[in-house]
Structure 1
């Protein structure tokens, strides 16, 4: 399963705002274009492992600072969908 984790982490770390909005819509999570842009800018180049609870928690806190706590909760739901096995 490690290869799938690597693929998902790579996608998260290189995601665009447009892709983030598309995935959010697929999972019925509300993220607007401006919020997605802020989140994608934060993620770019950070090399975050969303399968690590500590790293994911830190990421969600940073997203809350950038886009608000409600958006952070929504993005966390999306990340949890990616990490379900």
Structure 2
């Protein structure tokens, strides 16, 4: 399981706005190009551990400030699917 976690975290650490837009479309999350760019900027190079509740919640609050509460909740639901 640790190997899969490392792969997920590495991918999130290098995510691009285009990646986020593709995932948003795939999972039905409302996200504009500008929002995707801002969220990618939040995540790139920060080594955020979505498997850690405190770090994930901190990121989600920042995502909510950029997008909306509903989008942040949907992202959290997706994170929960990936981390359970």
Report the TM range for the smaller structure's normalisation.
Answer: 0.7 to 0.9
Could you report, residue by residue, the CA deviation over 1:7-57 in whole angstroms, capped at 9, with x for unpaired residues? 001111110000011112111211121111100001011101101111100
Structure 2 unaligned regions, length at least 5: none
Cα drift, residue 68 of structure 1: 3.2
**Aligned positions, number:** 84
1:7 to 2:31 alignment: no
TM-score (norm 1): 0.86
Deviation larger for 21-30 or 70-79:
70-79
- Contact 2:39/2:66, CA 8 A, preserved across alignment: yes
TM-score (norm 2): 0.87
- Contact 1:30/1:74, CA 8 A, preserved across alignment: no
Mapped to 2, the partners of 1:78 and 1:31 lie a distance apart of 14
Aligned to 1:64: 64
Structure 1 unaligned regions, length at least 5: none
Aligned to 2:40: 40
